[in-house]
């Protein structure tokens, strides 16, 4: 009789799970290393010297790469940045300005430009002036230095007097003075000194912060699901700037222009004598909302259906004393609504797009008081077809990648099928679930066997190995069948797991002469037990 | 018939593909002092560990005090003393600490006076740590810890390994102390046949995992004999005497090792073979063991031819 | 009485390492904390704010001052787990004291339970009070004006739990009789995988679930292996 354990019913599946997990990771790492080595060699071999462009090609590229700027009267100029020269590092770049007939109007350093173009609302960008939901999530991530939190200071005479800390779980701010005492709470309805009275904000989406010209304390523009607030911690005020009951505000669709009271020379400074403060946001129902000041006004614009579905399509807004303007830019090339459905559809789109010359347009509209659009001017130029190899969504698999993927588990195909391609593309592209799942998604997509015949043959071959190894060692039919199926499902990782967990010794059966495992008392072939040794004639085995 | 305290039935153990113990059938009766002997790598320690449930048998079974070895209950273990091979104890503990540790597992049985007497007899200070003790002192502590709970069955795996003669003598005296208590059974493995000869009343010989002898010491010593026959001319080519184990030849002499052969039969054969004279050599247990376990094609370095 | 004897024995084996971990963590942690408190004083930390400028949002994200001790706590915890695992389950393989320990009038389960209990106590009483003490110290207003968040306190305990997971992985590897280049180190590898999965995750529920499930897997394997293993 062997030593017994009551834990084997949990421990045995746990052992199999642990081992297959580690073996899968090890096999995947090995596959990844092979792919990376292959990729490095492949990429370095495909680098080719750039072909010399013709004059016409250079001209078209110049037009294409020029910024299309509008003068207040609607005139369109093409501003081409010549870039920095090594001797002029630190000084403004040189630029050329052309008119729509491609005549050179001016050339010189960009800070000496003789024209003043319309400036437009700029989108709040993460890691620049926008703090997004992604970043807020990242503060919650546990690192070796623990997680972070968001704190807003209130200073006076160059000393910090208060700190307001945001609690993502509770969705409000708690304030402390420098003696460590709690001084209040800030929520959607304002500041309060009682926790029971504070009303939490909705789910956080975005914030931006600036110090006004008359203060060194930050003011926040705080965007949640359907509201935008302006919070001044120094004055302890929470103002509701925008509210939408019908749809959520898009996370990265908010733009500002002259909204923040910045000092001249600051990067995003806009002269408020010429422009009205403007906040532009887009809701998920496709509507554009404009909030303006001086005078205060809110406008909602529905973009015409005919404008939708074009490639590289975007809008910009600005509000001057003369009116509210919209700049629209798009390329005359339609993308199918399901273009992200599969990689093949996306590749076809990219291939079509890059292989043709396309027209690209920019237009200037004036907005009426009722949100109507009045076209003022426009300009069209050619985006030439791409010379050289087509850029793909993902490069087609190389022979090495296809070969390596044949050793992957067929279960990867099943996982992709069950969860759906959209899930994997989302996990792969958005990092929404954290780096671990991003890495997992990427790994599975890189080494997915895609139902290859060789993969299935290899799985069957692993089953054959398991059969040959396990047949003389089998202790029960259930276990034997389990490992056969296991090896088939997990391919190479399955075989390695099986070998790791089933390394029973074999001996030659003294009765039938064939190999038999020692995990059971009798021979699996002839059922004979191990025979006792022959008693020597001279042995002294005498009774007790 | 005496109660059997230890029995094995077809006990077999493979290490990988190597056979360590092969179908061992053994019964040890109560009150017996059994010497368990064998050459290096014969399978003694493996057999002991199988009996104590420290190893899983490949086949067969083993029972101690009526309980299956793989399911020894705490109550059964309390009745068994075990001295491990090499006297492996916790090196960081002091003797006093080990005593307290060991005693907590035998709250009713622990013979404090006996332990203290033994430690004092061996001149061992209680505060000394195990790692500062010599091999012999560690053996003494180990024996004291095993004997103090007054076990019914004492199993010792090569307890005198590496000890000098004086310490071995002390060790055996301690063992005799236990033997003198009624109903105690001792199984000890050893390479020192002199110790086995001194204290055992039963001998078990294991060779390459196979049980070769299981009998009283007296029976063993009586059964194995060596006869030296002298011849005037050349020695006979064919030796066909019952019980012949080994035969060594020189020019005019024949040395026969025999198992279970009467003196009369030896005399008869000597006459029929034409021996001038013969002599039955007295052997000690060590010599008998060496001859008994020597392989059939055993060579000596000097002089003698093989059979 | 028998269990307490085993527990006492295991705790005494752990004692030098517990003290070492606690002293190292306290000394180095306290030193780094003082340095961090000095350099992260909020009075002058925000001196970059000036009128009429956009504020970089990174200025508002703030690691706790206790963050400086995070790597130290993690290393102490993992180190303690490794050392205790080796002490309990690897060293007896070399000193060959398993037969002496196993031939006790208690079941193998009790012997193993004593080891595991001793280790849990070791972690709690060596690193726990130091962490609580340093956290309490950092929360005092006269030391640092802004109190720490409860989440950081919980995260410190997560680091301590990762040390326990490391211990369990080391134990399993020590009990495994396979060759080191086959499955012997799988226990350690599994513990390492768990640690890598934890970082960086946001949800405490997810983290505790992962730790609980992996600890359950390791514990069941340890018990099963110890009860059936040959010594």
Number of domains in chain B: 2
The Cα B142–Cα B149 span in angstroms is: 12
What is the span of the domain harbouring residue B185?
4-208
The Cα A361–Cα A313 span in angstroms is: 10
Residues B85 and B178 in one domain: yes
State whether residue A464 sits within 8 Å of chain B by CB. no
Which residues on chain B place their C-beta less than 8 Å from a C-beta of chain A?
Answer: 1-2, 4, 10, 12, 14, 16-17, 22-23, 27-29, 53, 56-59, 61, 68, 70-71, 205, 210-216, 219-220, 223, 243, 245, 259-260, 292
Q: Is the pLDDT of residue B307 over 50?
A: no
Give yes or no for a contact between C130 and C25, defined as CB atoms under 8 angstroms apart.
yes
Average pLDDT score over residue span A404-427: 83
Give yes or no for a contact between B166 and B143, defined as CB atoms under 8 angstroms apart.
no
Residues B57 and B156 in one domain: yes
Q: Is the pLDDT of residue C63 over 90?
A: no
Q: Quick one: tokens of A179?
A: 């003696």
**Which residues in chain B touch residue A516, judged by CB atoms under 8 angstroms apart?**
none
The Cα A355–Cα A349 span in angstroms is: 10
User: DSSP letter at A178?
Assistant: T
Q: Quick one: tokens of C144?
A: 């640092």
**Which residues in chain A touch residue B223, judged by CB atoms under 8 angstroms apart?**
540
Residues B15 and B88 in one domain: yes
Query: A181: buried, middle or exposed (CB in 10 Å: 19+, 13-18, 0-12)?
Result: exposed
CA trace torsion A383, A388, A390, A391 (10° rounding): -80
pLDDT of residue B127: 93
pLDDT of residue B167: 78
Residues 10-29 of A with CB under 8 A from C: 10-12, 14-15, 17-19, 21-22, 25
Residues B202 and B62 in one domain: yes
pLDDT digits (tens, 9 = 90+) for B55-79: 999 889 999 999 999 889 999 999 9
By residue count, chain B amounts to 307
- CB-nearest partner of B82 from C13, C97, C103: C103
Q: Is the pLDDT of residue B82 over 90?
A: yes
Contact B70 A3 (CB under 8 A): yes
Contact B14 A529 (CB under 8 A): no
Of all residues in chain B, the percent with pLDDT exceeding 70 is 93
* 3 state DSSP class of C47: coil
Q: Is the pLDDT of residue C77 over 90?
A: yes
Residues B58 and B159 in one domain: yes
State whether residue B230 sits within 8 Å of chain C by CB. no
Residues B48 and B183 in one domain: yes
Contact A151 C60 (CB under 8 A): yes
State whether residue A147 sits within 8 Å of chain C by CB. yes
pLDDT of residue A90: 67
State whether residue C189 sits within 8 Å of chain A by CB. yes
- CB-nearest partner of B12 from A530, A538, A542: A530
Give domain status of residue B215, yes or no: no
Residues B196 and B297 in one domain: no
Identify the bridge partners of residue A377 per DSSP, sorted by sequence position.
A364
Cβ neighbours for B271, distance < 8 A, ≥ 6 positions apart = none
Contact A1 B220 (CB under 8 A): no
Among B162, B179, B208, the domain boundary falls at B208
State whether residue A139 sits within 8 Å of chain C by CB. yes
pLDDT of residue A422: 73
The Cα A37–Cα C207 span in angstroms is: 34
**Which residues in chain B touch residue A529, judged by CB atoms under 8 angstroms apart?**
59
Among B208, B231, B264, the domain boundary falls at B208
Q: Is the pLDDT of residue B306 over 80?
A: no
Q: Is the pLDDT of residue A195 over 50?
A: yes
Query: Of the candidates A12, A34, A57, which has an alpha carbon nearest to the alpha carbon of residue A384?
Result: A57
**In what side-by-side order are the strands of the sheet with A172-177?**
A190-192, A182-187, A172-177, A159-167, A148-156, C61-63
The pTM (predicted TM-score) of the whole model is: 0.88
Question: Is the peptide bond preceding residue B36 cis, with omega within 30 degrees of 0?
Answer: no
Report the first-to-last Cα separation within chain A, whole angstroms: 25
Q: Quick one: tokens of A152?
A: 């807003």
Question: For C230, which residue in chain B has the nearest alpha carbon?
Answer: B55
Q: What angle do the packed helices C204-228 and C108-139 form, to 10 degrees?
A: 150
- CB-nearest partner of A507 from B2, B17, B70: B17
pLDDT digits (tens, 9 = 90+) for A134-159: 889 888 889 999 999 899 999 988 88
Among B208, B236, B264, the domain boundary falls at B208
DSSP letters of A251-301?
Answer: TT--EEES-S-PPTTSTT---TTTB--EEEEEBTTSEEEEEETTTTEEEEE
- CB-nearest partner of B56 from A2, A532, A542: A2
Average pLDDT score over residue span A66-84: 90
Contact A500 C42 (CB under 8 A): no
Give yes or no for a contact between C47 and A158, defined as CB atoms under 8 angstroms apart.
yes
Q: Is the pLDDT of residue A496 over 80?
A: yes
Q: Is the pLDDT of residue A178 over 70?
A: yes
Task: Tell me which of A51 and C36 has the higher pLDDT.
Answer: C36
Residues 500-529 of A with CB under 8 A from B: 505-507, 518, 521, 529
Rounded to a whole number of angstroms, the distance from the CA of C217 to the nearest CA of chain A is 6
Contact C99 B88 (CB under 8 A): yes
Query: Of the candidates A378, A350, A358, A351, which has an alpha carbon nearest to the alpha carbon of residue A366?
Result: A378
State whether residue C1 sits within 8 Å of chain A by CB. no
- CB-nearest partner of A533 from B17, B23, B223: B23
Give domain status of residue B217, yes or no: no
Average pLDDT score over residue span A240-249: 92
Residues B139 and B253 in one domain: no
Query: C91: buried, middle or exposed (CB in 10 Å: 19+, 13-18, 0-12)?
Result: middle
- CB-nearest partner of B54 from C1, C4, C231: C231
H or E element that contains A210: strand A204-211
The Cα B157–Cα B37 span in angstroms is: 10
**Which residues in chain C touch residue B56, judged by CB atoms under 8 angstroms apart?**
228, 230
Give domain status of residue B280, yes or no: yes
Q: Is the pLDDT of residue B305 over 50?
A: no
Residues B177 and B258 in one domain: no
**Which residues in chain C touch residue A438, judged by CB atoms under 8 angstroms apart?**
none
pLDDT of residue A325: 94
Average pLDDT score over residue span B110-129: 90
Give domain status of residue B214, yes or no: no
DSSP letters of C49-113?
Answer: --TTEEPPGGGTEEE-GGGGGHHHHHHHHHHHHHHHHIIIIIHHHHHT-HHHHHSSSS-HHHHHH
Q: Quick one: tokens of A520?
A: 């059971």
The Cα A124–Cα A256 span in angstroms is: 7
pLDDT of residue A87: 61
Q: Is the pLDDT of residue B1 over 80?
A: no
* 3 state DSSP class of A520: coil
Chain A interface test: which of C36, C46, C76, C184 (most A C-beta within 10 Å): C46
Average pLDDT score over residue span B250-254: 84
The Cα C98–Cα B83 span in angstroms is: 12
Q: Is the pLDDT of residue A430 over 70?
A: no
Give yes or no for a contact between C141 and A181, defined as CB atoms under 8 angstroms apart.
yes
Which domain CATH number covers B35? 3.40.50.300
Q: In chain A, where are the structural domains located?
A: 411-448
Rounded to a whole number of angstroms, the distance from the CA of A217 to the nearest CA of chain C is 7
């Amino acid at each position: 009789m062997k030593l017994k354990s009551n834990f084997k019913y949990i421990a045995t599946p746990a052992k199999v799970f642990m081992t297959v997990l580690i073996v899968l990771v090890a096999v995947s790492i090995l596959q990844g290393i092979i792919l990376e080595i292959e990729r490095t060699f492949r990429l370095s071999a495909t680098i080719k010297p750039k072909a010399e462009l013709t004059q016409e090609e250079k001209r078209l590229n110049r037009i294409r790469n020029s910024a299309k700027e509008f003068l207040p009267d609607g005139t369109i100029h093409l501003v081409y940045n010549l870039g920095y020269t090594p001797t002029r590092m630190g000084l403004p770049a040189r630029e050329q300005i052309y008119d729509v007939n491609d005549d050179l109007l001016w050339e010189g350093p960009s800070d000496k430009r003789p024209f003043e173009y319309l400036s437009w609302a700029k989108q709040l960008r993460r890691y620049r002036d926008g703090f997004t939901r992604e970043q807020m999530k990242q503060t919650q991530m546990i690192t070796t230095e623990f997680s972070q939190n968001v704190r807003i200071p209130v200073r006076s005479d160059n000393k910090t007097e208060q700190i307001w800390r945001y609690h993502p779980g509770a969705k409000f701010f708690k304030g402390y003075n420098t003696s460590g005492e709690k001084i209040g709470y800030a929520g959607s309805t304002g500041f309060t000194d009682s926790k029971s009275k504070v009303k939490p904000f909705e789910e956080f989406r975005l914030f931006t912060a600036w110090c006004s010209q008359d203060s060194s304390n930050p003011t926040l523009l705080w965007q949640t699901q359907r509201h935008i607030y302006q919070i001044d911690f120094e004055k302890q005020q929470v103002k509701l700037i925008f509210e939408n009951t019908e749809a959520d505000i898009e996370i990265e669709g908010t733009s500002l222009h002259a909204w923040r009271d910045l000092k001249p020379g600051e990067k995003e400074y806009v002269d408020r004598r010429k422009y009205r403060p403007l906040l532009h946001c887009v809701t998920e129902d496709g509507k554009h909302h404009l909030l303006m000041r001086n005078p205060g006004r809110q406008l909602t614009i529905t973009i015409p259906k005919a404008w939708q579905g074009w490639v590289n399509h975007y809008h910009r807004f600005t509000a001057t004393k003369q009116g509210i303007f919209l700049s629209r830019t798009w390329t005359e090339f339609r993308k199918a609504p399901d273009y992200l459905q599969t990689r093949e559809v996306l590749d076809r789109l990219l291939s079509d797009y890059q292989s043709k010359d396309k027209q690209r347009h920019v237009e200037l509209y004036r907005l009426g008081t009722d949100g109507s659009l009045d076209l003022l001017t426009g300009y069209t130029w050619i985006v030439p077809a791409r010379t050289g190899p087509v850029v793909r969504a993902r490069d087609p698999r190389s022979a090495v990648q296809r070969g390596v993927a044949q050793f992957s588990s067929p279960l990867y195909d099943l996982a992709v099928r069950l969860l759906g391609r959209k899930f994997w593309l989302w996990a792969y592209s958005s990092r929404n679930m954290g780096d671990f799942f991003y890495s997992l998604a990427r790994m599975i997509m890189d080494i997915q066997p895609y139902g290859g015949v060789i993969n299935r043959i290899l799985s069957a071959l692993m089953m054959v190995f398991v059969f040959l190894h396990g047949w003389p060692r089998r202790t029960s039919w259930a276990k034997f069948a389990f490992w056969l199926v296991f090896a088939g499902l997990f391919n190479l990782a399955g075989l390695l797991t099986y070998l790791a967990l089933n390394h029973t010794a074999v001996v030659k059966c003294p009765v039938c002469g064939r190999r038999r495992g020692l995990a059971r008392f009798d021979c699996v072939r002839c059922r004979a037990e191990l025979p006792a040794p022959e008693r020597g004639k001279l042995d002294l085995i005498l009774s007790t | 018939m005496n109660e059997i305290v230890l029995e094995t039935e077809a006990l077999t153990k493979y290490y990988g593909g190597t056979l360590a113990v092969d179908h061992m059938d053994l019964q040890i009766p109560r009150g017996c002092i059994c010497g368990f002997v064998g050459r290096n790598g014969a399978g003694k320690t493996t057999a002991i560990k199988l009996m104590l449930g420290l190893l899983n048998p490949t086949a067969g079974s083993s029972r101690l005090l009526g309980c299956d070895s793989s399911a020894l209950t705490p109550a059964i273990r309390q009745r068994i003393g075990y001295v491990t091979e090499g006297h492996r104890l916790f090196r960081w503990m002091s003797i006093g600490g080990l005593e307290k540790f060991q005693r907590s597992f035998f709250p009713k049985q622990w013979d404090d006076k006996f332990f203290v007497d033994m430690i004092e007899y061996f001149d061992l200070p209680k505060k000394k740590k195990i790692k500062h003790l010599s091999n012999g002192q560690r053996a003494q502590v180990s024996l004291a810890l095993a004997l103090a709970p007054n076990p019914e069955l004492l199993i010792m795996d090569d307890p005198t390994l590496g000890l000098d003669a004086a310490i071995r003598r002390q060790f055996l005296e301690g063992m005799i102390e236990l033997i003198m208590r009624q109903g105690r059974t001792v199984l000890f493995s050893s390479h020192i046949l002199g110790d086995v000869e001194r204290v055992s009343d039963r001998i078990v010989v294991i060779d390459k995992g196979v049980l070769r002898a299981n009998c009283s010491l007296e029976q063993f010593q009586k059964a194995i004999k060596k006869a030296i026959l002298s011849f005037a001319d050349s020695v006979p080519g064919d030796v066909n005497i019952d019980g012949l184990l080994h035969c060594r030849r020189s020019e005019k002499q024949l040395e026969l090792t025999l198992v279970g052969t009467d003196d009369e039969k030896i005399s008869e054969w000597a006459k029929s073979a034409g021996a001038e004279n013969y002599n039955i050599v007295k052997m000690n247990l060590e010599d008998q063991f060496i001859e008994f376990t020597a392989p059939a094609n055993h060579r000596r370095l000097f002089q003698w031819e093989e059979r | 009485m028998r269990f307490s004897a085993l527990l006492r024995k295991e705790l005494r084996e752990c004692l030098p390492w517990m003290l070492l971990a606690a002293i190292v963590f306290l000394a180095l942690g306290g030193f780094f904390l003082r340095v961090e408190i000095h350099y992260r004083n909020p009075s002058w930390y925000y001196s970059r704010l000036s009128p009429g400028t956009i504020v970089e949002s990174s200025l508002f994200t703030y690691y706790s001052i206790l963050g400086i001790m995070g790597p130290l706590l993690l290393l102490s915890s993992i180190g303690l787990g490794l050392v205790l695992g080796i002490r309990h389950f690897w060293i007896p393989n070399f000193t060959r004291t398993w037969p002496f320990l196993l031939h006790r009038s208690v079941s193998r389960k009790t012997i193993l339970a004593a080891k595991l209990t001793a280790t849990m106590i070791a972690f709690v009483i060596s690193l726990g009070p130091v962490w609580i003490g340093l956290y309490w110290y950092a929360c005092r207003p006269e030391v640092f004006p802004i109190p720490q968040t409860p989440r950081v306190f919980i995260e410190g305990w997560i680091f301590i739990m990762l040390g326990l997971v490391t211990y369990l992985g080391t134990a399993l590897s020590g009990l495994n009789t396979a060759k080191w280049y086959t499955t012997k180190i799988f226990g350690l590898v599994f513990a390492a995988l768990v640690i890598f999965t934890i970082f960086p995750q946001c949800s405490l529920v997810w983290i505790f679930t992962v730790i609980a499930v992996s600890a359950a897997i390791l514990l069941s394997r340890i018990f099963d292996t110890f009860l059936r293993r040959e010594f």
